[in-house]
Structure 1
Amino acid sequence: MERYAWKGLINPGCLEEYKRRHNEIWPEMLKVLKEAGIRNYTIWNVGDELFGYYECEQGADYAAKVQAKSPVVAKWNEYMKDVMTMEMDPVTGAQPKLQQVFFME
C-alpha cells in the first residue's frame, strides 16, 4: 500500500466552513475516493495550513487517475475553492505529492 500526503491552505477566516463541508462530505465523493483505492484519509490543520494523508491500495498514480477523470471530484474542487487554496499538479490533476523523508512502522 502506497502512502500519499498533500498540503494546502485554508483561506483566511474559512476554517469552520472548511470543517463543516468535510463533516457533510457528499456520499458520491466518498464513493469516488473508495473506487480510487483511498483508505485511512485524514486531514489536519495548524492555523491556515492543511496537511492531508491517505493510503492508496492500488498506488498513488491509480488514485490520481481515478480522481482526475471524475466529474464528482471536479465539482468538489470547485465547491471548495472559495474556502481553500491548493496548487494542483497539471499532469495528474491531483494534489502535488509530498516526498516522504522518514517512515517508522
Structure 2
Amino acid sequence: MSDAIETVAFRMRLHPGQADEYRRRHDAIWPELANELKTRGVLDYRIFLDPESLALFAVMTRRRDHGLAALPDTEIMQRWWAMMGDIMQTNPDQSPVQVDLQPMFTLA
C-alpha cells in the first residue's frame, strides 16, 4: 500500500432492531455527503455488522493528507448525524460513539 494512503478501522453500535433501517439509510446515502467524503480524502469506506452484538465495524482507506478533521463542522455531516441518531449510539453532539480498532494483522 502506498505511503500516501492509510487504512483505519473503528467500531460503532446499533440500537436493537435497527439493522434494516441502518442499511436502508446507507443505501440511500445523500450524494452530497458521499461527495464530501471523497473530496476530503476517503478512497474506500466499508461498514460491516455483527448481528449478534449489533456492533458495526467500519474500515476506511483514506489519503494521509485527508481533510476529515473538519467534516464534523459541516452542515451536511450535522444533518446526517441528526438523522442517524435515533438508530445508533451517539455522543451528546449527535456524532456516533466510535471506538478506534487496533491493527493486528495485515496480509499484503
In structure 2, relative to structure 1, the CA distance for the partners of 1:34 and 1:84 (3 Å cut) is: same
User: 2:56 aligned to 50, 61, 78, which one?
Assistant: 50
DSSP 3-state at the match of 1:4: strand
Structure 2: give runs of 5+ residues left out of the alignment.
none
Q: Distance in 2 between matches of 1:69 and 1:30?
A: 16
Q: CA deviation at 1:39?
A: 1.4
What is the percent sequence identity of the aligned residues? 28
Question: Normalising by structure 1, what TM-score?
Answer: 0.81
DSSP 3-state at the match of 2:80: helix
Deviations 1:16-39 (A, max 9, x none): 000000000001110110111001
Report the number of matched residues.
99
The 10-residue stretch of structure 1 (25-34 or 93-102) with the greater mean CA deviation from structure 2: 93-102
Deviations 1:31-69 (A, max 9, x none): 11011100111110011110011101134xx34313222
Structure 1 segments, 4+ long, off by >6 Å, are: none
Q: Distance in 2 between matches of 1:69 and 1:87?
A: 15
Structure 1 position 69 matched with structure 2 position 68: no
The Cα RMSD (Å) is 2.2
| Bigger Rg over Cα | 2
